[in-house]
């Protein structure tokens, strides 16, 4: 995936085109989020947290949008918008989705910001997905009293969610963005050479 | 979005969308500080009540609300079976149901029910266009975000069309299910759909800018104007009254043995 350095002639903030691309991607993910929602609820009553492996799906809009746009605010905007759409379509967690969305977006955004928005390799993407995951676990600790589960169950819960985020919102998001890069469509958003990307590894 | 289904407009539709959103989010935050299952049960009931005033036929509301049962079970069961507690009721292998974990699970189920009901009431009575016009006017949300979101929403039907076209094209070329595994098939659909969406977003942005769309340049006028009215006060007061009532009744006349699930 291209550029390590932002293009010199590219405006720093989000342009109208950036926002539109981010939101269109967010809408696609919002629909996926909404479809994902009952699947998760069906698996969950087993209590063995297999459903937590799929939780990373709900962090994907943020990391994926950043990989496309590579600008401050893209991850937060995408994750918020996708969550808002899920709530609008009557998702079963209602308005709470919006709170989760904003904070999970911030979780990913902070990681990308820590690398000054210059790194977009698999490692940073995985870290950002973990940022979202930790924030979601923090809210859940207040919402679902997850710290009041038996120790083995609690550990299983946390590790399954982290693993799911690494695989889906981290590695899968990165692979998908890389594949999209090869179609050439991303040169519309940020024209750059492929050489910089190779340097990132 | 249930926009395509006909329904009556009720007073809940006329509440300012920004206020409705703020109240819905606040109710979620407030629910985080309720630890008494008696109060939670009444709050859940109080949140289901507005669903009757959404102007949709009762049967349809029941249909929309049917996943609530699943939400209740899925939120409650894990905690009931694997929560911590001292008074043991039942044990089977890893499953260990205690009095504390049972009430905590029940509390969680009720809390999820409450949150889901508030969300559904909001979704059933608020059109996205109304919400974003109101956010621009009441919270000064930059118009480039609001209009972009609405534009993106309008692309959903196009996206659905493209999905079906793509599926037919793939079928004709013999790329049916069972080939290439899940990841391969996912890419087969995701990549073209995303690429087309990005191109369309770019074209839309160019078209909007060509028509001199600018954020924050001078004063905007709005086709739909949203302000405050007596209905907003009525809405805020009735929600507050329901919560206060639930709080008082739940605290002073508890029906369940547990009063704090922490």
Q: At the top level of CATH, which class does the domain A16-194 belong to?
A: mainly alpha
* C-beta of residue A80 within 8 angstroms of C-beta of residue A101: yes
- Give chain B's domain count: 2
| Residue B137 domain flag | no
Task: Report how many Cβ contacts below 8 Å link chain A to chain B.
Answer: 189
> Same domain for B52 and B114?
yes
- What's residue B246's pLDDT? 92
List per-block mean pLDDT (blocks of 10 residues) for chain A, which spans 201 residues. Answer: 48 88 93 83 75 89 94 95 89 86 96 92 95 93 84 88 94 93 86 61 60
Which residue segment(s) compose the domain that B45 sits in? 11-127+227-252
> Same domain for B201 and B238?
no
Pick from A28, A148, A188: CB nearest B194: A28
Task: Give B112: exposed, middle or buried? Use CB within 10 Å, 0-12, 13-18, 19+.
Answer: buried
Question: Which phi and psi (to 5°) does residue A5 adopt?
Answer: -100, 140
CB distance A88–B128 less than 8 Å?
yes
Can you tell me the distance from the alpha carbon of A173 to that of A62, in angstroms, rounded to the nearest whole number? 9
Pick from B32, B190, B206: CB nearest A176: B190
Pick from A28, A85, A97: CB nearest B197: A28
Lowest-confidence range among A64-73, A149-158, B137-146, B216-225?
Answer: B216-225
Task: Give A195: exposed, middle or buried? Use CB within 10 Å, 0-12, 13-18, 19+.
Answer: exposed
- What's residue B206's pLDDT? 92
**Rounded percentage of chain B residues whose pLDDT exceeds 70:** 94
> Same domain for B121 and B236?
yes
A176 chain-B contacts, CB cut-off 8 A: 187, 190-191, 194
- What's residue A23's pLDDT? 95
- What's residue B148's pLDDT? 94
- What's residue B19's pLDDT? 96
| Residue B199 domain flag | yes
Q: What is the DSSP string of B24-60?
A: HHHHHHHHTT---HHHHHHHHHHHHGGGGGSSS-HHH
CA distance A132 to chain B (A): 19
> Same domain for B167 and B239?
no
- What's residue B232's pLDDT? 95
Kindly provide the b/e burial profile for residues A154-173, where b requires at least 16 CB atoms within 10 angstroms of the residue's own CB: bebbbebbbebbbbbbbbbb
> Same domain for B104 and B41?
yes
B20 chain-A contacts, CB cut-off 8 A: none
> Same domain for B41 and B158?
no
Which one has a higher pLDDT value, B25 or B219?
B25
Question: Which phi and psi (to 5°) does residue B142 adopt?
Answer: -55, 135
**ipTM exceeding 0.85?**
yes
Average pLDDT over residues B97-110: 90
> Same domain for B24 and B107?
yes
- What's residue A195's pLDDT? 58
| Residue B5 domain flag | no
pLDDT grade, residue B1 (50/70/90)?
very low
């Amino acid at each position: 995936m291209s550029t390590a350095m932002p293009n010199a002639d590219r405006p720093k903030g989000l342009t109208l085109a950036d926002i539109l691309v981010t939101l269109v991607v967010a809408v696609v993910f919002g629909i996926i989020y909404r479809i994902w929602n009952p699947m998760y609820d069906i698996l969950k009553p087993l209590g063995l947290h297999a459903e937590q492996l799929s939780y990373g799906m709900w962090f994907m809009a943020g990391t994926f949008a950043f990989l496309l746009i590579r600008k401050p605010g893209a991850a937060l905007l995408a994750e918020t918008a996708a969550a808002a759409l899920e709530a609008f379509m009557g998702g079963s967690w209602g308005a709470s989705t919006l709170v989760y969305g904003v904070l999970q977006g911030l979780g990913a955004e902070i990681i990308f910001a820590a690398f000054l928005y210059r790194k977009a390799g698999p490692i940073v993407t995985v870290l950002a997905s973990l940022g979202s995951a930790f924030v979601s676990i923090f809210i859940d600790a207040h919402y679902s009293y997850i710290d009041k589960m038996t120790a083995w169950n609690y550990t299983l819960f946390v590790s399954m969610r982290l693993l799911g985020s690494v695989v889906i919102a981290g590695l899968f998001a990165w692979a998908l963005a890389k594949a999209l890069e090869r179609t050439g469509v991303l040169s519309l958003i940020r024209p750059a050479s492929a050489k910089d990307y190779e340097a990132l590894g | 979005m249930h926009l395509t289904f006909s329904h009556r407009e009720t007073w809940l539709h006329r509440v300012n969308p920004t206020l409705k959103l703020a109240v819905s989010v606040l109710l979620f935050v407030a629910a985080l500080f309720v630890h008494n299952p008696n109060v939670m049960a009444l709050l859940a009931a109080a949140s289901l009540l507005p669903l009757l005033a959404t102007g949709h036929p009762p049967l349809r509301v029941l249909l929309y609300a049917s996943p609530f049962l699943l939400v209740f079970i899925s939120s409650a069961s894990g905690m009931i079976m694997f929560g911590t507690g001292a008074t043991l009721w039942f044990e089977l292998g890893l499953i260990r149901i205690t009095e504390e974990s049972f009430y905590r699970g029940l509390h969680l189920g009720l809390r999820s029910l409450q949150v889901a009901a508030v969300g559904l009431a909001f979704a059933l009575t608020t059109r996205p266009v109304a919400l974003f016009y109101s956010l621009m006017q009441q919270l000064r949300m930059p118009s480039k975000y609001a209009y972009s979101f609405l534009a993106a929403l309008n692309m959903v039907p196009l996206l659905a069309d493209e999905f079906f076209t793509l599926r037919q094209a793939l079928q004709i070329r013999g790329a049916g299910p069972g080939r290439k595994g899940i990841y391969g098939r996912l890419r087969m659909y995701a990549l073209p759909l995303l690429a087309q969406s990005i191109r369309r977003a770019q074209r839309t942005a160019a078209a909007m800018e060509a028509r001199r769309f600018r954020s924050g340049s001078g004063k905007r006028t709005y086709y739909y104007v949203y302000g405050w009215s007596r209905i907003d006060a009525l809405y805020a007061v009735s929600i507050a009254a329901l919560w206060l009532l639930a709080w008082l009744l739940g605290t002073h006349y508890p029906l369940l043995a547990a009063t704090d699930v922490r």
